[in-house]
Structure 1
Amino acid sequence: MLWLFTSLSMPKVVDHERYRKELLNGCAELFAQKGYGSITMRQIAEGLSVSTGTLYHYFESKETIFVQLVQELCEQDISSFLAQAPEAKTLEARLQAIMDFVFMHLQHYQQQLLLWVDFFQQTQKEGHEQVNFLRQVWNRSRDALTEYLQLSDAAMADFLMVFIDGLIVQYIYNRETQDANWLQHQSQLMIQMIVSYEQSSAQA
């Protein structure tokens, strides 16, 4: 029976990386509810049901949490899309798959965009220049899109991302009255533009 008492007394092994990601995922909802500028580390700890000591053990500051959260969400979005992306042989079909994914998660991306703006405004007020990570996340997303779409020019992936951001802003402005057909129509125009550009580039 000695082995039983020995096993019971052994300390619990914690997967620190997994636990860190669990905390980050919990922070996403807290930031969405209160905004980056309003919430404090103490409130985050309370919302996660952990001590402030535990929170500071994993994250140096609220800013650190936000930076890591944005990076984690970027990787999750890319993985989630690629995991369910259909086999698409044409550029048009691949673009449509991306837009279908965006429309399916439109509220999620709206929430993200508003948080990014909130963070940018807050850090500008405080005189920080911690926005380089947003550029890094943008570049990571652009590279993933360029590879999936098999684009000859990465600038078209930039164009696609700018278009999606604009579509999300338009959705925010007119959420109560926005016609889904209008969103789809704008999406089709964008797809035609990118396909035409790629075809022209291939013929040049």
Structure 2
Amino acid sequence: MPKVVDHDQYRKELLNQCFDLFAEHGYASLTTRQIARALNVSTGTLYYYFPSKEDLFMQLIEEITTQDLLRASAEIAGLHSLRERILALGDFLEANEDYFIKQTLLMMDFYQQAGLGPSRVNEAVQRASLRSRDEIMTALQIDSPLLATHVLCLVDGLISERMVNPELVSYRQQAELLADLLTAYLEKSPGGQP
């Protein structure tokens, strides 16, 4: 009897293994053959799931975004005040800092090689960014895409600054400041939203 394979689950397992591979070697320096060898699969198997390295990377971005959002949402779920939710987000970032630094460096490497022009991967990154913004709105219970984008920019900048000046930047302090600023801003806005 042939082995039954859950192709979607197997594809996700391959993607999960690819994150560390790309983070360690960079997007540009890996060939499809090297990726297949590192994953202990044939190039034919890799091409079956991912028609190109670009497709693999694009699916990787979408998969890690989905997993990151699920994990972050689970940390924030059930918290009542905006302050509690923002502090939980800061704690989540701190607890997973190494992972998020790898992710940031990987994206920088990709953009260094691919540029900022139109591409299918760039479209995947844009979709992931919009999903992140929407999830921030849901998790923090704010109705403003503008504020959610601001939080997303702060998170990206915070991770980047931690790479440069870890001793000068505290996730907790930045989360507390953000909570204070957003709370004050929302209190002054008509209806509690900008």
Q: State the percentage of identical aligned residues.
A: 39
Q: List per-residue Cα deviations over 1:98-153 (Å, max 9, x = no partner).
A: 1111111111111111111111121129x763312111100001101101211131
Structure 1 residue 51: Cα displacement: 0.6
Q: Spell out structure 1 runs of 4+ moving beyond 4 A.
A: none
For 1:129, which of 119, 122, 126 is the aligned residue?
Answer: 119
Structure 1 residue 196: Cα displacement: 1.3
- Alignment match, 1:112: 103
State the aligned residue count: 191
**Structure 1: runs of 5+ lacking an equivalent:** 1-9
**Structure 2: runs of 5+ lacking an equivalent:** none
Higher RCO, 1 vs 2 (CA within 8 Å, ≥6 residues apart): 2
Return closer, same or farther for 1:151/1:139 CA change in 2, 3 Å cut-off. same
TM-score by length of 2: 0.91
Residue identity opposite 2:32 in structure 1: M
Please say if 1:50 is aligned against 2:41. yes
Structure 2 counterparts to residues 33-182 of structure 1, below 5 A: 33-124=24-115, 129-130=119-120, 131-175=122-166, 178-179=167-168, 182=170
TM-score by length of 1: 0.87
RMSD: 1.8
Structure 1 residue 179: Cα displacement: 4.6
C-alpha distance in structure 1 between counterparts of 2:171 and 2:137, whole Å = 23
- Alignment match, 1:3: none
Return closer, same or farther for 1:24/1:146 CA change in 2, 3 Å cut-off. same
Larger radius of gyration: 1
- Alignment match, 1:189: 177
